[in-house]
Structure 1
């Protein structure tokens, strides 16, 4: 049993769940940020945290030199299994063309044409890129194959990466878009997704997701997809309210989905439903900027009492970044969150959206996932926007960089 003592922590954001204020789910409570602190890692988990002056001995020690330490980012929403490029689509959007869901089809064609080796190498490279930016727990989805064979290929790849410890969570998103070969036959495609496709993919994933949106799947079709997934033993996730009030919030809450993501268009009833539920409201700031959409109302969601997560939505069409640090910065500067609210949403919030208790915090017993900033305080994430502030990343007690 090997132990490591880390000292020289100017700030240590433990975000210890035992200290939560149950009346303020988005706040940082007293004692969840320690100053002049130290921590001990033992067998990949946090064994001790506290004042540096009271630190116990360990097998080895490292001085972090007065740097701030956060839990690693928990990115609960990404789309990393794909090939192809949609830079031209992005350029056109920046020139004034509106975003529509149909661009997914471009990526589907490229992904279907990619070899297994190429798809595996691309996905691994993207996971490594996210890790270098401080993400230590990462979900990703299928959804660019949109046939039984191709969705199974994506699910097997994701499952293998989970087994190898590179990825943490895998989601089936066969209901991403109706592929071109099913144009005008959406109901037949939903039959395929809820039947042979789900049966093939379910053993390889933990979650099922659906794009409940105009141009993709309506609420009735989305409900069919989610109920079939639940019957297969999968947890539920929902893309909703990105392009309009699609009905995704009501559906997610009614079915007990772990999260509903995007949420650019909400009314008071939606806020009330989310606040009264365990469904996590996941906002995707980088996507909002890339599509020039109205920013999701993160401030209003927290004020209403909803559980909030921040995720990257890394994908080739609408959010081609895995930088959760950038998303946190955007949430502070443009979505009117405090630094503490944004950090919590990108750590504890992401863990809640994945129904996990072992990550997103640095309390004793948590997986030792650390994001060491090259700064004396976490506020530098917003104070110095765009600067490369990741100094070290530790995952399960092993230093990544």
Structure 2
């Protein structure tokens, strides 16, 4: 099947040209053939429609690549609204709340978890997200981590094994034994369903030495590394990620000059999660500092029940522009091409021939409206692999 989207007022290709990071084409058209993009350019030069080709009139509205959400935790049970309410009245955020979700998740059936996950996927698609990663980390037993990885793999190839989320309560006095479990039986049970290995390198979670051991074990099983780091304070997460060749280090709220320099001299993406700062009242990361230093920046939702219970990438864009020093074009790039780089994907995040036909039609004339009109539903249509959702 072929389809021509024409009369696009502003097309964001993310194919940089003449200093324009967004690779903007005005009065544009896009030809989709099957699951891929076949042609991109000015509408006046578009291929003539042929028999059987569908056409979509964008009516002067903007088209952008589908969002790439490179950090989510979507398979879980329970609810932690009470923690959010407490934070809004002054209780500080701490990583220990994860254990509440672990208990609820262990008690939930596969059917309940699968149904909730399906709801989140529908929610993501409705908000323009066409590629997303899902982490485990709310099971923390061999059986439960394996089933979370298996359920996540039913809806995305971007599954991350995060057995090293926190040390569960039953191992509180035996953390060395828990690390042994993570790098041994638990990893073996989850590797077949996963592409990535992650670790929460943070006070209250895992030390740098423990994190290094866990990442190395994952790599030995064929998984690619990524890291949660520098969320709650200055620490070793960023430098650990760079040394491990991690695709991404996520949070990056507290960085010193050495952290920024390490990122700038590496292929590791700094993935910023502004929904967390919104929900926890922590300081927002300084995206401007990172971008000006030459660091590749992505933004993602970190959708999870404790510190960022939102799946809205448009909201992440608005927060990045308002609170983190990014321009609208930089924020849209970070939510699309940046996320693709954080997942080491070269087939999504841009609109160009040969790329997957993952596109979003905005009910707005420009991408700037994603930040200019926060909270307004601007997603008019979404295509995933050339199919309208």
| Same-fold status (TM-score > 0.5) | yes
Residue by residue, what CA displacement relative to the aligned partner does 1:60-114 show, whole Å, maximum 9, x if unpaired? 2111111100000000000000010000011001110111100000000000000
Report the 3-state secondary structure (helix = DSSP H, G, I; strand = E; otherwise coil) of the residue aligned with 2:316. Answer: helix
Provide closer, same or farther for how the CA distance between residues 168 and 328 of structure 1 changes in structure 2, counting only shifts above 3 A: farther
Moved over 3 A (4+): none
Provide closer, same or farther for how the CA distance between residues 20 and 101 of structure 1 changes in structure 2, counting only shifts above 3 A: farther
Length-normalised TM-score, structure 2: 0.98
Shift of 1:356: 0.4
Give 2:273's aligned residue.
Answer: 284
2:31 equivalent to 1:40: yes
Give 2:326's aligned residue.
Answer: 337
Shift of 1:20: 8.8
Give 1:78's aligned residue.
Answer: 72
Among candidates 53, 57, 76, match of residue 44 of structure 2: 53
Give 1:155's aligned residue.
Answer: 149
Give 2:6's aligned residue.
Answer: 7
Provide closer, same or farther for how the CA distance between residues 365 and 110 of structure 1 changes in structure 2, counting only shifts above 3 A: same
Length-normalised TM-score, structure 1: 0.95
For 2:306 and 2:165, how far apart are their aligned partners in 1? 13
Quick check: 1:37–1:50 contact (8 Å CA) kept in 2? Answer: yes
Gap regions ≥5 residues in structure 1: 22-26, 162-166
Give 1:177's aligned residue.
Answer: 166
For 1:193 and 1:57, how far apart are their aligned partners in 2? 57
Residue by residue, what CA displacement relative to the aligned partner does 1:338-390 show, whole Å, maximum 9, x if unpaired? 11111111111000000000000001110000111100111111111111111
Report the 3-state secondary structure (helix = DSSP H, G, I; strand = E; otherwise coil) of the residue aligned with 1:66. Answer: coil
Give 1:67's aligned residue.
Answer: 61
Gap regions ≥5 residues in structure 2: none
Among candidates 86, 90, 100, match of residue 96 of structure 1: 90
For 2:297 and 2:68, how far apart are their aligned partners in 1? 12
For 1:305 and 1:322, how far apart are their aligned partners in 2? 28
For 1:246 and 1:20, how far apart are their aligned partners in 2? 39
2:337 equivalent to 1:348: yes
Quick check: 2:314–2:374 contact (8 Å CA) kept in 1? Answer: no
Give matches, 1:317-396, under 5 Å.
317-396=306-385
For 1:385 and 1:160, how far apart are their aligned partners in 2? 32
Residue by residue, what CA displacement relative to the aligned partner does 1:168-217 show, whole Å, maximum 9, x if unpaired? 41000000000010012111100000000001110110001000000000
Query: How many residue pairs were aligned?
Result: 386
Quick check: 1:5–1:57 contact (8 Å CA) kept in 2? Answer: no
Cα RMSD (Å): 1.1
For 1:196 and 1:263, how far apart are their aligned partners in 2? 31
For 1:129 and 1:384, how far apart are their aligned partners in 2? 20
Give matches, 1:303-314, under 5 Å.
303-314=292-303
2:246 equivalent to 1:257: yes
Give matches, 1:156-305, under 5 Å.
156-161=150-155, 167-305=156-294
Quick check: 2:229–2:236 contact (8 Å CA) kept in 1? Answer: yes
